[in-house]
């Protein structure tokens, strides 16, 4: 390894060590070792694998710090890969000079308003691990085209904008796991446009990403592709939390406005804990999503909000308030302008929505199936169809067992709704009729009202 101090770096946190470190990268043995110290730089360190072959920067067991006191990334890694992950698409130099650049075991501290942490450009198999990146504008930025990123066991903290940014790039095969990504002002992880597929975000703690002074979409995970593709995402086993006054949502997925909405597709959100934000999950213009097995709480305006979305399953989720509620949150599920949505086997407790809405609110939608859900102590209504057609409400339990009843109707059908089926539901504790529906709005069979 090429020791930074052997090439003239001081590591005193005051001198500009950029020239010495870049010299070590360009003329050393390919692996720069940062021993204990604070290495202040004012320009990006460039790891140009196209010129120098295999390259890495490795700190000494976390005792080294890069202080970025200038604009741009502290470290920019440059490759030339133009293919996919298919072996036949590789050029020889990718394997012989560029594959698997490694950055590990050091800290990057931003000291300039436009300082970023790491930028990856046309890289193949970049591996980032055991890093601390804080007080940068963007922690890790992926630009142009990249493949097979591993980001693991790292801390990305207190960024002015975003922790990990897929910046309008062509990107496939990414694994982001076992990281803390918190207190970034815009988003923990964000995609903006690009052609992005096969992304796994698993086992991370992504929290308190809010506070941007700009009017932008914020959240723990924000996927925005108004002109591009969001495809094959797995978001599983994460803790995604914020505060009740935080705008946006824990997970935001926004596609381009098209019918059918095919640009956002094949997204799985499973087994996460999400809570304490304006909303918890928001999807706009998506298709073929699975939102399953999550524990969700504290959505100030709602838990799950789907608009213009098709062919999606919301199953096996638990939507609750936190114990010892100290403020009122609406919680609940809202479906608007959507088709072919399955809402099944969810537990919904203590949702307190607006006077004209319901814990499960379906508006201007068709072919929505609401089956075998348990709704307890919600108010003022359990399930409502508004201006919706050919929906099926079946086998739900809608119970208010409080001493003071707050449930007005178990099921309500309103507006221009028609040709719906309400079958085999059980309700108890309503203040008014259990099922309110005018003739022609819904066929009712085999429903039971308990005292």
CB atoms near residue 165 (< 10 Å): 26
Does residue 259 lie within any of the structural domains? no
Rg (CA), the chain: 26
- The whole domain housing 16 covers 1-160
Residue 90 token pair: 């590789």
Does residue 295 lie within any of the structural domains? no
pLDDT, one tens digit for every residue, the chain (451 residues): 789 999 999 999 999 999 999 999 999 999 999 999 999 999 999 999 999 999 999 999 999 999 999 999 999 999 998 877 788 888 888 888 889 999 999 999 999 999 999 999 999 999 999 999 999 999 999 999 999 999 999 999 999 999 999 999 999 999 999 999 999 999 999 999 999 999 999 999 999 999 998 889 999 999 999 999 999 999 999 999 999 999 999 999 999 888 888 889 999 999 999 999 999 999 999 999 999 999 999 999 999 999 999 999 999 999 987 665 556 789 999 999 999 999 999 999 999 887 779 999 999 999 999 999 999 999 999 999 999 999 999 999 999 999 999 999 999 999 999 999 999 999 999 999 999 999 999 999 999 999 8
Does residue 387 lie within any of the structural domains? no
Does residue 138 lie within any of the structural domains? yes
- Count up the domains in the chain and report the number: 1
Shortest CA distance to 436 belongs to which of 398, 406, 417, 410?
A: 410
**Domain holding 11: CATH number?**
2.160.20.10
Does residue 245 lie within any of the structural domains? no
Is the distance from CB of 248 to CB of 217 less than 8 angstroms? yes
């Amino acid at each position: 390894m090429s020791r930074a101090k052997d090439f003239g770096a001081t590591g005193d946190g005051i001198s500009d060590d950029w020239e010495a470190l870049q010299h070590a990268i360009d003329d050393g043995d390919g692996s720069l070792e940062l021993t204990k110290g604070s290495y202040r730089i004012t320009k990006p360190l460039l790891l140009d694998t196209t010129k120098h072959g295999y390259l890495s920067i490795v700190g000494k067991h976390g005792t080294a710090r890069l202080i970025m006191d200038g604009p741009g990334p502290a470290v920019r890694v440059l490759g030339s890969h133009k293919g996919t992950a298919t072996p036949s698409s590789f050029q020889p130099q990718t394997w012989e000079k560029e594959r698997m650049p490694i950055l590990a075991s050091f800290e990057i501290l931003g000291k300039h308003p436009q300082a970023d942490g790491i930028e990856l450009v046309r890289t193949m198999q970049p591996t980032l691990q055991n890093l601390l990146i804080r007080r940068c504008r963007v922690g890790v930025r992926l630009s142009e085209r990249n493949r097979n990123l591993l980001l693991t066991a790292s801390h990305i903290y207190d960024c002015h904008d975003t922790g990990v940014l897929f910046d309008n790039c062509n990107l496939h095969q990414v694994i982001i796991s076992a990281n803390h990504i918190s207190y970034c002002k815009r988003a923990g992880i964000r995609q903006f446009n690009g052609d992005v597929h096969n992304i796994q975000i698993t086992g991370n703690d992504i929290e308190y990403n809010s506070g941007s002074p700009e009017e932008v979409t914020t959240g723990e995970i924000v996927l925005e592709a108004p002109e591009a593709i969001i495809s094959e995402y797995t978001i599983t086993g994460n803790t995604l939390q914020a505060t009740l006054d935080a705008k946006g949502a824990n997970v935001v997925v926004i596609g381009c406005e098209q019918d059918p909405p095919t640009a956002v597709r094949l997204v799985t959100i499973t087994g996460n804990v999400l809570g304490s934000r304006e909303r918890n999950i928001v999807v706009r213009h998506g298709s073929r999503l699975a939102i399953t097995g999550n524990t969700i709480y504290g959505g100030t305006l709602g838990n799950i909000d789907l608009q213009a979305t098709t062919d999606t399953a919301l199953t096996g989720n638990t939507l609750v308030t936190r114990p010892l509620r100290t403020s009122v949150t609406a919680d609940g599920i809202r479906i608007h302008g959507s088709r072919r949505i399955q809402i099944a086997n969810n537990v919904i407790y203590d949702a307190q929505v607006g006077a004209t809405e319901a814990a499960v609110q379906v508006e201007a939608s068709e072919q929505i199936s609401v089956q075998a859900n348990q709704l307890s102590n919600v108010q003022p209504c359990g399930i409502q169809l508004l201006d919706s057609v050919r929906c099926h409400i079946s086998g739900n339990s809608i119970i208010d067992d409080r001493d003071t009843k707050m449930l007005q109707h178990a099921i309500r059908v309103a507006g221009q709704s028609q040709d719906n089926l309400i079958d085999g539901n059980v309700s108890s504790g309503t203040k008014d009729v259990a099922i309110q529906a005018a003739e022609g709005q819904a066929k009712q069979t085999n429903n039971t009202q308990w005292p």
